[in-house]
Amino acid sequence: MLSHPFDDDKLREECGVFGVIGVQDAASFVALGLHALQHRGQEAGGIVAYCPQEGFSSARRFGYVRDNFTSASLMETLPGQLAIGHVRYSTAGSKGNTQIRDVQPLFAEFQMGGCAIAHNGNLTNALALREELIAHGSIFQSGSDTECIIHLMARSIQKTIPERLKDALRRVEGAFSIVAMTRTKLIGVRDALGVRPLMLGRLGDGWALASETCALDIIGAEFVREIEPGEMVMVEDGRLQSFFPFQPRRPRFCIFEHVYFSRPDSVIGGRSVYETRRRIGMELAREAPVEADLVCPVPDSGTPAAIGYSQQSGIPYAMGIIRNQYMGRTFIEPSEQIRNMGVRLKLNVNRAVIAGKRVVLVDDSVVRGTTSRKIREMVMDAGAAEVHFRIASPPTMWPCFYGVDTPDRAKLLAATMSEEDMRRHLGVDSLRFVSLDGLYRACGSEEGRDQRNPQFCDACFSGDYPVRPTDMIERGFDAPVPAE
């Protein structure tokens, strides 16, 4: 596992997907796209490619894209003009236990040919489906919920792989953005709520699908549009077809993509992620002003919001905390002495800037609070006169079941403490979160959150789950009842 042990105080996306068709050395383009999506998953990656002469070929590796898919000898084994790929971050229950067979894309050979699937999201009825499929004779090879889709496709009576995929996806619940391929087709699908992102790009005569626009940028592709919630697109022989195989529903895109998951240089819903995060900081400054000398981000995710807070409040912006960008793999298995250094391995306080100052620290979220406490200690040790935390998201009170690695609810600080209790626990002079309405305003909903028909999925803040988490309820999770 390559994610750092001190990074577990953040919510983590579980994966990113990318695919191209109609370009020479498609797998190399996929490798570049996955590199741009590395923030969505650092544990493992995989690529499947197809060429008529050699058929399907695949490579799955643990670790970073740069350490595996930059090898010329490896990329030569993935020829063809059609390829898809996936980067993975393991779920909470499988950290450190992932097998190579769990790494996507997953591949299956059907009567009408092969098919590879890469999935971003989470199926909330995967356990129930798995039990049903095993009872009817299916034999699973991985622990991935994506394999349920393959077995459902195998049981379908439809005559083509795209129709079987539609059949299978009508049976699943939860959130999914899928990139799939056959021998001749590149396929992209989003669930009816559109919880997870999926983008369409044009690359000369070819096409590309990606979790984010930044991955299209890296290969020089032109962003065309987002795949619509509930839409399936299929590219073959340079032609794009669009279908809507699911019952229409009011979209509920994941609002945390705007807050943290997506790269700030991506565009979502026609809005710059960077600009949205800057506006969150401005909302924070309006909602939670404070007398202070400096506004400092907790790098790197707090930076755009800190800039917005500074601009709105008039308090000078400063880089009071510096991130060590090259910690990388040095401390994969740190000694106990090094582990006790905590966040000092990746963050260091700029003492000359902080000393004697009243500091506003802006971060994107507070999950367990362990990192926040250590940062406060570091800033105080550097001589800060006061420390005020401003958080660019509402309190994270509920776990996510739609493709985000979230701790049990009992480990979420905001689920067990009031804001004042959290302030005392963190040891800061003040603590304020942006309101849910303020977050919505920053995301373009000027009237704030529509309580009856929320514009986004915000279950981690509100407990309003747009899809019933069937498997978790069966295991004892007490899901709140949505307000009427």
Active site residues: 15
Cα(269)–Cα(194) distance, rounded to whole angstroms? 11
Cα(435)–Cα(392) distance, rounded to whole angstroms? 9
Cα(383)–Cα(356) distance, rounded to whole angstroms? 6
Bridge pairing between strands 174-181 and 113-123: antiparallel
Q: Which amino acid makes up residue 385?
A: A
Selection from 150, 89, 159 nearest residue 120 by Cα: 89
The tokens 């894209």 sit on which residue? 65
Cα(477)–Cα(465) distance, rounded to whole angstroms? 12
Q: Is 454 exposed, middle or buried (0-12, 13-18, 19+ CB in 10 A)?
A: buried
**Contact call for residues 10 and 391 (beta carbons, < 8 A):** no
Backbone angles phi and psi of 41, in degrees to 5: 180, 120
Q: Which two tokens stand for residue 179?
A: 């990139």
**Contact call for residues 345 and 313 (beta carbons, < 8 A):** no
Cα(172)–Cα(360) distance, rounded to whole angstroms? 45
Identify the H or E element spanning 67. Answer: helix 65-68
Write the DSSP symbol of residue 322. Answer: E
Q: Which amino acid makes up residue 121?
A: G
Strand order in the sheet with 15-21: 55-62, 44-51, 82-88, 15-21, 206-210, 199-203, 222-226
Cα(218)–Cα(163) distance, rounded to whole angstroms? 32
